[in-house]
Amino acid sequence: MAGQQSKAGGNSTKGRFTNRGRVLASHEREEFQAIMAQESRPLVADRLIEYLHIIQDKLGYLPLGLMQALGEELKQPMVAIYEVASFYHHFTILADGETPPPKTIVRVCESLSCALAGGKNLHKSLSKALDGQARVELAPCMGECDHAPAVMVGRNPIAPANADKVVEAFVKGAWHTPSAHWPSLADYRAEGGMACFEKLRSGSLTKETIIEELHKAGLRGLGGAGFPTGRKWDLVRKAPAPRLMAVNGDEGEPGTFKDRLYLETKPWQILEGILIASWVVEAKEVYIYIRDEYPLGLKILAEAMQELDALGMTSHTKLHLRRGAGAYICGEESAMIESIEGKRGLPRHRPPYVAEKGLFDRPTLVNNLETMLWVPFIVQHGGAEFAAKGMNGGAGWRSYSVSGRVAEPGVKLAPAGISLNQLIQDYCGGMAKGHELKAFLPGGASGGILPVREADRPLDFGKLEELGSFVGSHAVVVLSDKDDLKAVAENLMEFFSLESCGQCTPCRVGTRTVFKLLRQGDWNVEKLEALSQWMTDSSICGLGQAAANPIKSILRHFPEVLP
């Protein structure tokens, strides 16, 4: 009996002759066991997404039978597996009787920077060129915005991409994570790396000193929310044990790619920061959540963590690496926590805040990857020295991910508080040839769109809010006179409507409704204003609350483009 829906068969005419629902066949159970042979037992529910990856990586899709076998072993109902698998873009569910699709997925980035560089046309040509051989899909930002347009062939990122390069890579079978060259721990130690953590471990440095230095440095959460890091650590440290920690490497905000760069070039700094943080807040376990769009970073971290474990440097805690599965919303800290727990990435209601009740309902320190990077630097050089790096009232260095119409896009390490004009002139070699600055996104898709007249304002937390905008993850996308702002807004609204988790009505219905209106060319101000206010006022999380920012920006700063 093949795995299938409950069966009315045999030589009787009516009735149900199997148990209710889909019947798991023994060959499906055996295939599942074979695929999972490497996994330690018992399987645990919070690793559900990891298990789904194992199947998806092996087959290129998730057959229902294997999902059912997984559920059986996890003692989870079918729907609990199904709803997680169907939530994440990187899983493909294969229904019973469906023909398996080609194994390899070619993802073409359609987010703003890549769209400006012709991503959608590239998708069209690749769909034709690879028809029947690969699944060619549009996908959101892959963190390669400075090399737009980006394409991911299986696990192999290609940027900048063109059709020929991609087809060549595909034909050559270059589908796998490329080999990485990254500094060794010895190199890092040679520059004085790990010294802070060792001092902390040996007791020559106290937890209080560290927090004090973080206060002095004015370090703020660099995932986008900008919450003072020292204060967060202090709060969590005082919460009841056991405490946990989660590191947010789900850098999904379109236009942001600093975390990817640091992951691939400075993994030891990040890990030292994590070791220090987990020591200071006495986190029993640390979960590092990296988006699935960063295969290289995942590989590097996995190896580096193994090395640290082997050296006994993680003896005060336990490090876990968790792999996202294609969901922008999981960059939202409580959605990330849900995802680490093996669930759909639905943001939680606040209060309670994750510092009180986070991962597995324990007090949890959640920090962004780059925030961790700066911790050893600050401890080594002193908070004051870091703070002094800022300008225009800002404190410290900031990593601006600059893309779009500039001559030299990339991650620009610049003083916090720098203005857009200065960033472009001093760090990006000016505007791209033939382009004149017209507008810019200071904080990725959600930070709103500002006109050129605001280009002298400091790009820092708290400085753009009065314009209905924010700097967020410092993802600066520069637009020029050649760009159609309405098309930009439409691109951003499409992104939000595809990435909304669907939990609350204003975001689920609002993002899609606004996108549909824009696509129809219906820029009715009254309608859009009411919808925007509703989404901003009544959505559960930052995604929905900020999703209307592109529209609000156009209505407020660019009325001239409206019909």
Partner 1 sequence: MSKSSQGAKPKVTITFNGQDIAVEADQSLWTIAKQQGVLIPHLCHRDEPGYRADGNCRACMVEIKGERTLTASCIRKPSQGMVVTTDSPRVKISQQQLFTALLANQPARAEGPDGESSLWQWADKLGMAGTGKAYDLPAIVAEPDASEQDNTHPAIAVNWEACIECGLCVRACREVQGNNVIGWQGRGADARIVFDFASPMGLSTCVACGECVQVCPTGALLETSQSKARLSSDMNKISAPPTPQSPQSHQTPQSPQSSQSPVILDQRVVREVNSVCPYCGVGCQTKVGVNKDNRIVRVDGRDGPGNHNRLCVKGRFGYDYIYHPDRLTKPLIRREDAPPKDSHHLVKPHEWSRYFREASWEEALSKAAKGLSQIHKQHGPNALAGFGSAKGSNEEAYLFQKFIRQGFGTNNVDHCTRLCHASSVAALIEGLNSGAVSAPFTDALYSDCIIVIGARPAENHPVAATFIKNAVRQGSKLIVMDPRGQHQGLTPWATHVLQFSPGADVALLNAMLHVIISENLYNRDFIEQRVEGFNSLLLRIDEFTPEAMAPICGIDPAVIREVARLYATSKASIIFWGMGVSQHIHGTDNARCLIALSLITGQIGRRGTGLHPLRGQNNVQGASDAGLIPMFYPDYQRVKEPANQAKFEAAWGVSLSPTPGLTVVETLHAAAEGKVKAMYIMGENPAMSDPDQTHAREALCHLEHLVVQDIFLTETAGFADVILPSSAHAEKRGTFTNSNREVQMARPAVPLPGEARQDWELIQDLAQAFGLAWDYQHVSEVYTEMASLMPSLTNISWERLEREDAVTYPCLGPNQPGEAVIFATNFPTPSGKGLIVPAAYTPPGDSLSQDYPFVLTTGRLLEHWHTGSMTRRASHLDTLEPTAIAGLALADMQDLGIEAGDMIEVETLRGKIQLAARADADVPQGLVFIPFCFNEAAANFLTSSRLDPFGKIPEFKYSSAKITPLRP
Sketch the per residue contact string, 95 through 124, with partner 1: x for CB under 8 A, - otherwise: x-----------------------------
**First CA to last CA across the chain, in angstroms?**
63
44 is an interface residue for partner 1 by CB under 8 A: no
Judged by CB under 8 A, the chain residues 427 through 466 that form the site for partner 1 are none
Residue closest to 323 by CA, chosen among 61, 56, 100, 139: 56
**Rounded to an integer, what distance in angstroms lies between the CA atom of residue 530 and that of residue 523?**
12
Q: Of 36-44, 199-207, 274-282, 535-543, which segment contacts partner 1 by CB under 8 A?
A: 535-543
Judged by CB under 8 A, the chain residues 162 through 221 that form the site for partner 1 are none
Binding residue for partner 1, selected from 310, 433, 520, 521, defined by CB under 8 A: 520
Question: How buried is residue 526: exposed, middle or buried, by Cβ count under 10 Å (0-12/13-18/19+)?
Answer: exposed
- Rounded to a whole number of angstroms, the CA Rg of the chain reads 24
Q: Which H helix or E strand runs over 248?
A: strand 243-249
HSE-CB of 158 using CA atoms within 13 angstroms? 22
Question: How buried is residue 356: exposed, middle or buried, by Cβ count under 10 Å (0-12/13-18/19+)?
Answer: middle
Residue closest to 130 by CA, chosen among 155, 104, 93: 104
- The encoded tokens of residue 486 equal 């309405």
539 is an interface residue for partner 1 by CB under 8 A: yes
555 is an interface residue for partner 1 by CB under 8 A: no
Binding residue for partner 1, selected from 67, 138, 290, 375, defined by CB under 8 A: 67
56 is an interface residue for partner 1 by CB under 8 A: no
Query: 23 or 43: whose CB is closer to partner 1?
Result: 23
533 is an interface residue for partner 1 by CB under 8 A: yes
42 is an interface residue for partner 1 by CB under 8 A: no
Binding residue for partner 1, selected from 50, 54, 82, 556, defined by CB under 8 A: 82
Closest approach of partner 1 to the CB of residue 9, in Å: 4
**Rounded to an integer, what distance in angstroms lies between the CA atom of residue 534 and that of residue 505?**
10
Query: 272 or 490: whose CB is closer to partner 1?
Result: 490
Sketch the per residue contact string, 332 through 371, with partner 1: x for CB under 8 A, - otherwise: ------------x----x----------------------
64 is an interface residue for partner 1 by CB under 8 A: yes
18 is an interface residue for partner 1 by CB under 8 A: yes
Looking only at the bridges linking them, the beta strands covering 450-451 and 364-368 are unpaired
Binding residue for partner 1, selected from 133, 265, 392, 545, defined by CB under 8 A: 545
The dihedral region occupied by 154, where left means phi > 0, alpha psi between -120 and 50, and beta the remainder, is left
Amino acid at 356: E
Query: 3 or 149: whose CB is closer to partner 1?
Result: 3
Rounded to 10 degrees, the C-alpha dihedral 282/287/290/292 comes to 180
- Does residue 24 contact residue 65 with C-beta atoms inside 8 Å? yes
Q: Of 86-94, 227-235, 249-257, 312-320, which segment contacts partner 1 by CB under 8 A?
A: 86-94
Residue 15: alpha-carbon gap to chain centroid: 49
The conformation of residue 144, written as its DSSP 8-state character, comes to -
Phi, psi of 186 (to 5 degrees): -60, -45
**Rounded to an integer, what distance in angstroms lies between the CA atom of residue 228 and that of residue 355?**
13
The conformation of residue 333, written as its DSSP 8-state character, comes to H
Closest approach of partner 1 to the CB of residue 519, in Å: 9
Point out which residues pair with 476 in neighbouring strands: 402
- Which residue is listed with tokens 């045999």? 10
Q: Of 11-19, 155-163, 363-371, 437-445, which segment contacts partner 1 by CB under 8 A?
A: 11-19
Q: Of 213-221, 232-240, 392-400, 494-502, which segment contacts partner 1 by CB under 8 A?
A: 494-502
78 is an interface residue for partner 1 by CB under 8 A: yes
Closest approach of partner 1 to the CB of residue 396, in Å: 26
How many residues touch partner 1 under the rule CB under 8 A: the total is 69
Give the residues lining the site for partner 1 (CB under 8 A).
Answer: 1, 5-12, 14-23, 26, 64, 67-68, 75-80, 82-83, 86-87, 93, 95, 327, 329, 344, 349, 497-506, 508-513, 516-517, 520, 527, 530-531, 533-534, 536-540, 545
